[in-house]
Amino acid sequence: MLSITRIANHCWLHRPLFTLSNRPSITKLKLSTFSSVEVSCSSDEECDNFLPWLERKAGTKISSVLSIGKSAYGRSLLASKSIEPGDCMLKVPYNVHSEWAPFMSRLPQLGEMHNTAFGHFPEFFDGITFDDFRHAYALVESRAWRSTRGVSLIPFADFLNHDGAAEEVVLSDEDKKLSEVIADRNYSPGDQVLIRYGKFSNATLLLDFGFTLSYNIYDEVRIQVNIPRHDPLCAKKLELLHVHCTPAIEDVNGFSSSQDSFTIKEVRSAKGKGRGIPQSLRAFARVLCSTSSQELSDLAMEAVQNDGRLARHPLKNKTRELEAHWFLLSKITRLVEEHNVSIKSLEPSSSPFMFQKFALRKQMARDLLAGELRVLKSASEWLKNYCTTLSKS
């Protein structure tokens, strides 16, 4: 059985520095060459014997068009010959995937482990420090792939760096018991072949892989909105939201939203339809800004008469509609201010030693905050335009 997935694009590339979770499913790989930035690559002589060794272990040819090379971001896979669309670039049999996968998948997860074990049971960890363990954990986790078979390591494929600037097809053939990569563009000898780890925001890339992108079109901001406990209608509003709430929906990366947690994405046009600001968030604000039981009853009746979704249409009371969106605007404006303060606190230190030591971490933090700030500002501009247009109507 073939499983095929095509994924849309973003750009840049890095190698994982550390990780706290597995890479995405093997059916979500995406390949390209890195075209937006010049990155010099060269052959990696230290690894010249790796592919022949792996092919002897597998008992079959894995790749005749790729070789292991070095780039500014670590080891990588390079095209060793010209490659055309439709060519199979990489074919790794399941029998050389991690033979320890069944065992590893049954080990305690990170949240189930207690670091005090290193101190209280030295006989089990003789000569092993927590840094040793963290290094081993990061090495495995940053190279582990999820597929229909579970979690496994795929030798040779783990040299693929992250990009995502082009469409590509990846097949996981359960019948032939192998994973393969099919090119959908031309590659010249020396081009680096890359994968996209997923449609991940900088927050996810930083947490799971230890790097960020200077510009990431998948950046998003998770915000939480609560009904104040001192609101005299708090109980009724919560009940109304509970009755008419939309079940949590997982996105393409497996993340889900709850009743009072919302994910904002970048709004492309201040005068457009506000795509990126969830309708559920606007509905929440409309309920929150209601000031009487009658208004809440009207919202409940409207939901029943339509598709069951609560407050998805503009409120008939224009004053309340404005209040709801000014409320959202004030919350987002506050987040914009907080992000600006945080970014300013990351300005270079006057101490050369401190600057060198934390330069990479500060840069990743700036990338993360700058991406979220861009999203928040786009939402702010859309809300300002919406309120201005509504007040003039």
pLDDT of residue 339: 97
Are 375 and 217 contacting, i.e. CB atoms less than 8 angstroms apart?
Answer: no
| CATH code, domain with 303 | 3.90.1420.10
Cα distances (angstroms) measured from residue 93 to each of 99, 147, 179, 285: 12, 14, 6, 53
Q: Is 171 inside any structural domain?
A: yes
Maximum CA pair distance of the chain? 76
- Classify residue 312 by burial, with Cβ atoms within 10 Å: 0-12, 13-18, 19+: middle
Q: Is 148 inside any structural domain?
A: yes
Same domain, yes or no, for 195 and 224? no
Q: Is 215 inside any structural domain?
A: no
User: 3-state DSSP helix/strand/coil percent for the chain, to nearest 5?
Assistant: 40, 15, 45
Are 387 and 325 contacting, i.e. CB atoms less than 8 angstroms apart?
Answer: yes
> 153 forms bridges with which residues in the sheet?
144
Same domain, yes or no, for 9 and 158? yes
- Alpha carbon distance 163, 182 (integer Å): 16
- Alpha carbon distance 203, 206 (integer Å): 5
**Nearest residue to 286 (alpha-carbon basis) of 262, 320, 309:** 320
* Angle subtended at Cα 48 by Cα 176 and Cα 41, rounded to the nearest 5 degrees: 100
Q: Is 130 inside any structural domain?
A: yes
pLDDT of residue 108: 59
Same domain, yes or no, for 79 and 228? no
Q: Is 252 inside any structural domain?
A: yes
Same domain, yes or no, for 271 and 173? no
Residue type, 178: L
Q: Is 159 inside any structural domain?
A: yes
Question: Beta strand 178-182 with 169-173: parallel, antiparallel or unpaired?
Answer: antiparallel
Q: pLDDT of 200-239, one tens digit each?
A: 889 988 887 778 888 888 899 999 998 998 999 999 999 9
Same domain, yes or no, for 79 and 191? yes
Same domain, yes or no, for 185 and 270? no
Residue 331, CA atoms < 13 Å, CB-side half-sphere: 17
- Classify residue 252 by burial, with Cβ atoms within 10 Å: 0-12, 13-18, 19+: middle
Q: Is 229 inside any structural domain?
A: yes
**55 is written with which tokens?**
């092919």
Q: pLDDT of 32-43, one tens digit each?
A: 444 434 456 788
Q: pLDDT of 141-175, one tens digit each?
A: 777 776 666 777 778 888 877 764 545 545 677 88
State yes or no: pLDDT of 17 exceeds 60.
no
Same domain, yes or no, for 232 and 343? yes
Asked which of 150, 184, 209 is the last residue of a domain, the reply is: 209
Are 311 and 280 contacting, i.e. CB atoms less than 8 angstroms apart?
Answer: no
Asked which of 154, 187, 209 is the last residue of a domain, the reply is: 209
Same domain, yes or no, for 125 and 29? yes
Q: Is 214 inside any structural domain?
A: no
Question: Beta strand 88-93 with 178-182: parallel, antiparallel or unpaired?
Answer: antiparallel
**Nearest residue to 284 (alpha-carbon basis) of 249, 240, 318:** 240
Same domain, yes or no, for 337 and 387? yes
Same domain, yes or no, for 236 and 367? yes
**Nearest residue to 52 (alpha-carbon basis) of 39, 40, 68, 36:** 68
Give the global pTM: 0.74
Asked which of 209, 237, 255 is the last residue of a domain, the reply is: 209
Give the domain range for residue 366: 220-392
**How many domains are contained in the chain?**
2
Same domain, yes or no, for 251 and 270? yes
Q: What is the DSSP letter of 25?
A: B
Place of tokens 């997982």: 250
Residue 30's pLDDT band (cuts 50, 70, 90): very low
Same domain, yes or no, for 274 and 191? no
| CATH code, domain with 34 | 2.170.270.10
State yes or no: pLDDT of 262 exceeds 90.
yes
